[in-house]
Structure 1
Amino acid sequence: MFPHIIGNDVSHHDLSNALSLALSASQTQSNILEDGDLFSKTKETHNMELIQLDPNPSRDYESLNFRDAAQLSSHFQSSGFDAAYCHFPVEIYLIHQQDTWSSLNVSRDMICILLDRYILGPGFLHMLACFRDRYLPTEEGFSGAPQTIISPGRSEFGWVYKYSEKKDVRFGNPWRIRHTGIYQVHDHVRGKSVLIIVSPSPTAHFTSYLRDTLRQSQFRSILLANPMVIHTMLISSHLYSWRGYLEYQETLLIKLDMQSACTALEDPLVSFDTLKEVRVIEKHILPIEQITNSFYMQLDGLQRAFEQFVKASDADQGLQLPIRAAIEQFRSDATSYKNQAMHIFKKTQSTAQSISDSLNLTYQQLAQSQNRNTFMMATSARDDSIAIRAITLVTSFYLPFSFVATIFGMNLVDFDSQSRNLAVSNQMWLYFVISVPLTAVTLLCWRWRMRIYRQGYGMEDMKSQDDTKSLRSNSDIEMV
């Protein structure tokens, strides 16, 4: 939170310069305004709406739309500073994104004109930085600290409110975490309040609710008396939705928990996908604690800003009690939602552990079954080995006899019946000349074939190692 700066011996201009120097506002402004993901590059979508409340609450509000910086600048130049600044006691600027992950539908020049027009502090740009273009769901649990600047005759208060909202989808999770920002500048001397509201979409629920409220004269009179009520309107329009968000997640979790409780080893109802679903619920519950803690801090800042507003502007004391009571009620409701979220979070951990135990037991049973099959295969292989060894021994016993019988059965060896002697042909050498080279060629072919197999296995191993290195290199993300 920016420090409260209170003094009576310096002007607002000097105080603003001192604060800018202390907070390095010029560097912050340059960094944020040069962010290419903050402002939409499509000029056709640029739109900034201005709602002006007349001092007479019986008159309806006036609405203007600016499509570019030229129109906004022309409006300020034609109306003049003092006349436009004092005639409408409350001015509300509406800025929006195309959707939650898109950039703002305004240009950088339009924001710069607002900065110069109302001499906005650096907290306004810090608030805007939460609405840049994204391609990943980052900062789900980040709301930022309330931006508060209090100086003689002028106060600024801004914050980003995170809430859940149900989206109309055909399938899947309909709940989303979105945010809306409000930055208010109040001139206590002129009795003038300027509010800049940044919404996540052109049809955001709060902006529609605000327009409907401003169409009723009795509510316009309340907002003219105390524009700080708009902050509590934003909270009340979305705070209750956390109950539906948590109920949806808890319903999914109970179904998964029942599957885990009813599963059996013979017919398992859970799988690794079931565990993944539980982890998804856990991921959706996880940011709520941080969002709630930031919300407490924002409520404290809102209460201090409201007290300063009442003190400096001599607002109707009758409006203090309802707003203070509303802030306390918001705090109590947020605590109940936080406690429920922590209960569901612990329940997801218990369910995940139960599913993991069921999966481990199933895997152990599968491993035991595989071990039994392996044992049976080993026993069968042992029996086959014994049989083959017996056959080998018998074959080895008869092999010399078969070789001798083959030699004697050849035409190169004959038995002389008269002399009863063996007669060996002079061409007996042909048998060895042909057999020995043929055996050598057979062995060489076998060796060549085995070498090709080994080379193929080696190439597959090298390819596997290269793929592993590639995966490791792709998984290294350089954080800047």
Structure 2
Amino acid sequence: MASFLDLEEEDWELQAEANKRSKNLFGPRPNEPQMQLYRLSWTASAPPTEEISFGQNMVVHGTSQLKSLKAESNDFFQVFIIRQERSWTSLDISRELLQDFIDIFAVFPPFWRCIFTFGKKSNEDECDFPGFKSRGPIRMIMDQPTIESAYVVRRAELNHRDASEGQSPWSIRQTAVYHRLCSRKDASHDTLCASAFPSLKSTVLLVSPSKAVEKKISRLFKLALTQEEGANPCIVHSLIVADSVKGWMGYISWLEKHVKEVSVRITFADLEPPQGDGSDEGFTFDVDDRQALKVSEDSIIDLQIILSTLRSTVEGIRHYCQKCCTLAHHIDECSCVAALQELDAYIEEVNLCIDRAATLKERVISTGQLLSDLLRYEDQKALKDLNKQSQEENRMMRSLAEKSTKDAEAVKVLTIIGLVYLPTTFVAVSQETLSSFLSADFKVKNFFSTEFVQKDESGNMSVTGDTWLLAAISLPLTILTISTWWLCVRYKVSQASLKSLTGLLEGCKGGWALRWRRKNQPRVGDTENPDVQPSRPGILSTRTWSTGKLTLKDG
């Protein structure tokens, strides 16, 4: 009874979660059936004339029809189907109709976890998908043994869309399955099938199955009209698992091809392209390739989670099918043996897919490591080239500085030359231009009016006897000009040196003062000055001076 109480408590939590997600989870479309039914049933009550009939695509409209189907004693296999338009859209059923089905057929609460994997969503969290759940066999009303199970299987399918660059041509979809197997209330058919599944009643609910599964179930039920194996629920589970497993090898192959394309381009890339051809075809990958490898790695990690869950689910289905076979009291060889063998083969195939996914993940990791190393190599190479350019620029700046220094020296020489020739030029200027500014009656008689070179009537030039005035005046002016220039330059240099020296002396003065205070300050407990004792607040120190005859005590 404790397990039932736990399930009831869990049901309250699941109902609250269902109410929270109902807006994105349920959304029936107009003019589309919310639920359809495939059924196998007996057509007559008299054993000699009993025949199995098959019905498909029967639309379930409401609660009353579900109750009548639950009470129908002639039905021994019912498969209800709920569809959705696309894998990431809401289910084509209302919350009320699904809740009525769960209440009428007494579906155990863990099935809600399977329902929560559907609905509108922007991304997929692989860890949200539950594993295989089962319960039974247990004794219900009228001592009818019942077993039930619920699980979700994932499948990889080609989406047949025009995929652009970077998009996958594969889509990962899921199907939720609920199965309930119990004894039929009407045991009148035991004379015909005392050890057959038609003596039991199977109720299956498929949520978003593939079209291939629906076709296979339709063919299986048609086979049940003539052969008993068609009514075996283990075969239905085997068909669902087969549809889930078949696409993963193709999906892994596509991932491997995509990874190899990037890996080959990275591994055989020419890191040192020919110089001088103007092409940049050597290093043809960048950070985008590293991001693409990361996306592939994440896809492989999701694949490993999916395949691990799928393997656990298939193993649970196999164990559950053994329970179904035991409940049907099969002793001799039956179709359950073939179904169990197929499930074993599917488990091995899933294990193979898991191993290949692990190997592919190692390849992606190694390729990503190689790409990271090459990108670091490219960065180091770029830094090396940048260092070379910096050294070249430094050499150019050095040559420019040397040239500027030489130019400055040349300008300095020219300045000195100008200082030498300036007074001489000033003295040698003709006074005729200056005398024009003076009055005609007054003529200035000074050295400015002296002409050192004269020209006679015949055009011959001669130096006058006053030429010595040029040297007598120019030399003192030249010496005075150069001295003034030299003193100005020295004054500026002296001011800068004095300012620097003043700052240095200030710093040294502060350091000397600090060292002097530290040196002359008595230290507490100094072994070289044992008379110095530490002073404590509130305690007066006592000192004693003693001479030969007089003793003074202070404090």
Pairing partner for 1:186 from 181, 188, 202: 181
What is the CA distance between 1:325 and its match in structure 2? 1.2
Q: Higher mean Cα deviation, 384-393 or 178-187? A: 384-393
- C-alpha change, 1:127 and 1:402, in structure 2 (3 Å) is farther
Three-state SS of the structure 1 residue aligned to 2:82 is strand
Look up the match of 1:158: 150
Question: Is residue 46–residue 107 contact of structure 1 (8 Å, CA) maintained in 2?
Answer: no
Question: Is residue 155–residue 174 contact of structure 2 (8 Å, CA) maintained in 1?
Answer: yes
- C-alpha change, 1:30 and 1:421, in structure 2 (3 Å) is same
Question: Is residue 143–residue 161 contact of structure 1 (8 Å, CA) maintained in 2?
Answer: no
Question: Is residue 262–residue 269 contact of structure 1 (8 Å, CA) maintained in 2?
Answer: no
Question: Is residue 38–residue 132 contact of structure 1 (8 Å, CA) maintained in 2?
Answer: yes
Give the unaligned 5+ runs of structure 2: 44-50, 140-144, 186-199, 274-281, 427-432, 436-443, 450-555
Look up the match of 1:232: 238
Pairing partner for 1:285 from 293, 300, 319: 300
What CA RMSD, in Å, does the superposition of the two structures yield over aligned residues? Answer: 3.2
- C-alpha change, 1:159 and 1:219, in structure 2 (3 Å) is farther
| 1:387 equivalenced with 2:377 (yes/no) | no
Question: Is residue 88–residue 192 contact of structure 1 (8 Å, CA) maintained in 2?
Answer: yes
- C-alpha change, 1:327 and 1:347, in structure 2 (3 Å) is same
Look up the match of 2:324: 309
| 1:148 equivalenced with 2:142 (yes/no) | no
What is the CA distance between 1:115 and its match in structure 2? 1.4
- C-alpha change, 1:44 and 1:256, in structure 2 (3 Å) is same
| 1:353 equivalenced with 2:380 (yes/no) | no
Three-state SS of the structure 2 residue aligned to 1:349 is helix
What is the CA distance between 1:348 and its match in structure 2? 0.9
Look up the match of 2:508: none
Higher helix content, 1 or 2: 1
Three-state SS of the structure 2 residue aligned to 1:89 is strand
Question: Is residue 53–residue 62 contact of structure 1 (8 Å, CA) maintained in 2?
Answer: no
| 1:205 equivalenced with 2:236 (yes/no) | no
Question: Is residue 143–residue 162 contact of structure 1 (8 Å, CA) maintained in 2?
Answer: no
What is the CA distance between 1:273 and its match in structure 2? 2.7
| 1:72 equivalenced with 2:62 (yes/no) | yes
What is the CA distance between 1:46 and its match in structure 2? 5.7
Q: Mapping of 1:204-353 within 5 angstroms?
A: 204-217=211-224, 221-224=228-231, 226-265=232-271, 266=273, 267-315=282-330, 317=332, 318-353=334-369
Three-state SS of the structure 2 residue aligned to 1:210 is helix
Letter of the 1:160 counterpart: V
Deviations 1:49-99 (A, max 9, x none): 112222367533233124xxxx2224236x3752x2x22111111112221
Three-state SS of the structure 1 residue aligned to 2:377 is helix
Pairing partner for 2:445 from 410, 418, 429: 418
Q: Between Structure 1 and Structure 2, whose CA radius of gyration is higher? A: 2
Question: Is residue 40–residue 46 contact of structure 1 (8 Å, CA) maintained in 2?
Answer: no
What is the CA distance between 1:282 and its match in structure 2? 1.7
Comparing both chains, which one has the higher relative contact order based on Cα–Cα distances under 8 Å and sequence gaps of 6 or more?
1
**Matched residues in 2 for 1:210 and 1:392: separation?**
100
What is the CA distance between 1:314 and its match in structure 2? 1.9
Three-state SS of the structure 2 residue aligned to 1:178 is strand
Question: Is residue 35–residue 82 contact of structure 2 (8 Å, CA) maintained in 1?
Answer: yes
TM-score, length-normalised on structure 1?
0.73
Question: Is residue 149–residue 179 contact of structure 2 (8 Å, CA) maintained in 1?
Answer: yes
Letter of the 1:282 counterpart: E
- C-alpha change, 1:221 and 1:393, in structure 2 (3 Å) is farther
Question: What fraction of aligned residue pairs are identical, expressed as a percent?
Answer: 15
Deviations 1:211-251 (A, max 9, x none): 34434446874242x21321111111231211111111111
What is the CA distance between 1:285 and its match in structure 2? 1.3
Deviations 1:28-52 (A, max 9, x none): 2232244122112655556211122
| 1:53 equivalenced with 2:40 (yes/no) | yes
What is the CA distance between 1:421 and its match in structure 2? 7.8
Give the unaligned 5+ runs of structure 1: 1-13, 409-413, 423-480
TM-score, length-normalised on structure 2?
0.64
- C-alpha change, 1:58 and 1:120, in structure 2 (3 Å) is closer
Question: Is residue 213–residue 219 contact of structure 1 (8 Å, CA) maintained in 2?
Answer: no
| 1:110 equivalenced with 2:116 (yes/no) | no
Look up the match of 2:106: 119
**Matched residues in 2 for 1:287 and 1:219: separation?**
44
What is the CA distance between 1:188 and its match in structure 2? 2.7
Question: Is residue 165–residue 177 contact of structure 1 (8 Å, CA) maintained in 2?
Answer: yes
- C-alpha change, 1:336 and 1:374, in structure 2 (3 Å) is same
Look up the match of 2:382: 366
Give the number of equivalent residue pairs. Answer: 392
